[in-house]
Amino acid sequence: MRFATIDHERLAAELLGVSVGELRARALAGSLELPQGYDAAARRLERGEPLQYVVGRAAFRRLQLKIGPGAFIPRPETEVVAGAAIDALMAWPEGRRLAVDLGAGAGPIAAALATEVPGARVVAVERAWAAAGQARDNLEPLGVAVVNADVGAAVAAGGPLAGLVGRVAVVAANPPYLRPDAELGPGVAEHEPPAALFGGGEDGLAAPLAFLAAAARLLRPGGTAVMEHDPSQSAALRRHAQAEGLFEDARTGRDLAGRERYLLATRTAGAGRSGRGAVESPGC
């Protein structure tokens, strides 16, 4: 049996619950039977719907996460960002391993922190209702609290995370960061939520800067912000992180392709609990 595309082959393997290698072995042996529902699922795939939405799950590091329309599909680049956040949280004693995932989507970074860092306490914040629902499905069984709120409102006085201000060891984030003129593949443009993709402003930095301001409020002195970004935004984000003295040692980490992919910034030692200034959120 031959499949029309590699995604059709992966679809059959996912529906059968086997590896692509096992699927091919069955095909060569003449024992492959397509699973029930394959034809309907293949039609969704042929209309351009992402494979992860069709099968209802996505792989992320060691995990299989529930995923569907309304939530951003995690990419391999974000696995590297999660790894940096894990390393930063592991550097703290177990009693202080408190992390917040801002703009969590379906929860991949928060799930990785919760499952790979012993003694971690993790809180995930997500504004979109559809994504927050998926985050609850993925995270609540892991003991992660999910807050359905705008990032700025969550950390403001009286907000659901106000009690964590100045106490968090690691704030991780994969905010919307694409520029308005970014080119997207048809599966992305037609199916993934624009609010999870475009950062706002001419340079796509409105959301990342709001997330960074929220991180500055949440982090304890010496805590770390780990934030994914577009390679073109690395220098601007390093400058902004250090501009008001809230962060020090702002560095850029690279993804597996060698691209500048995420900010690593340490909260200034001795910084006040409230940070400096208000968090102005563009609706993140």
Residue carrying structure tokens 């091919």: 24
Longest Cα–Cα distance in the chain: 68
Q: Which amino acid is at 46?
A: E
- Examine the domain organization and report whether 15 and 99 are in the same domain: no
- Examine the domain organization and report whether 35 and 144 are in the same domain: no
Q: What distance in Å separates the CA atoms of residue 79 and residue 111, rounded to the nearest whole number?
A: 11
- Examine the domain organization and report whether 129 and 14 are in the same domain: no
Q: Quick check: is 55 in a domain? A: no
pLDDT of 271 reads 56
- Examine the domain organization and report whether 156 and 224 are in the same domain: yes
Q: Quick check: is 282 in a domain? A: no
Show the domain range for 168.
61-267
Q: Give the pLDDT confidence of 1-46 residue by residue, as tens digits.
A: 789 899 999 999 999 999 999 999 999 898 999 988 999 999 999 9
pLDDT (mean) for 111-131: 97
Identify the CATH number of the domain in which residue 255 sits: 3.40.50.150
Q: Give the pLDDT confidence of 155-208 residue by residue, as tens digits.
A: 999 999 999 999 999 999 999 988 888 887 767 777 778 888 889 998 999 999
Q: Quick check: is 238 in a domain? A: yes
Answer yes or no: is pLDDT of 239 > 80. Answer: yes
Q: Where are the alpha helices (DSSP H) in the chain?
A: 6-16, 20-29, 38-46, 51-55, 76-90, 108-116, 129-139, 151-155, 186-191, 206-218, 234-243
Q: Give the pLDDT confidence of 249-280 residue by residue, as tens digits.
A: 999 999 999 999 999 999 988 655 444 444 44
Q: Which residue in 68, 1, 8, 85 sits closest to 41, CA to CA?
A: 8
Q: Which residue in 196, 213, 211 sits closest to 134, CA to CA?
A: 196
Label the pairing between strands 57-60 and 63-66: antiparallel
- Examine the domain organization and report whether 30 and 111 are in the same domain: no
- Examine the domain organization and report whether 37 and 77 are in the same domain: no
- Examine the domain organization and report whether 147 and 97 are in the same domain: yes
End-to-end CA distance of the chain: 46
Q: Give the pLDDT confidence of 213-223 residue by residue, as tens digits.
A: 999 999 999 99
- Examine the domain organization and report whether 229 and 262 are in the same domain: yes
- Examine the domain organization and report whether 38 and 160 are in the same domain: no
- Examine the domain organization and report whether 186 and 127 are in the same domain: yes
Angle at which helices 234-243 and 206-218 cross, to 10°? 40
Q: Quick check: is 277 in a domain? A: no
Q: What distance in Å separates the CA atoms of residue 62 and residue 265, rounded to the nearest whole number?
A: 26
Count of domains forming the chain: 2
- Examine the domain organization and report whether 127 and 222 are in the same domain: yes
Q: Quick check: is 275 in a domain? A: no
Q: Quick check: is 187 in a domain? A: yes
Q: Quick check: is 222 in a domain? A: yes
Q: Quick check: is 272 in a domain? A: no
Contact 148, 126 (CB under 8 A): yes
- Examine the domain organization and report whether 236 and 110 are in the same domain: yes
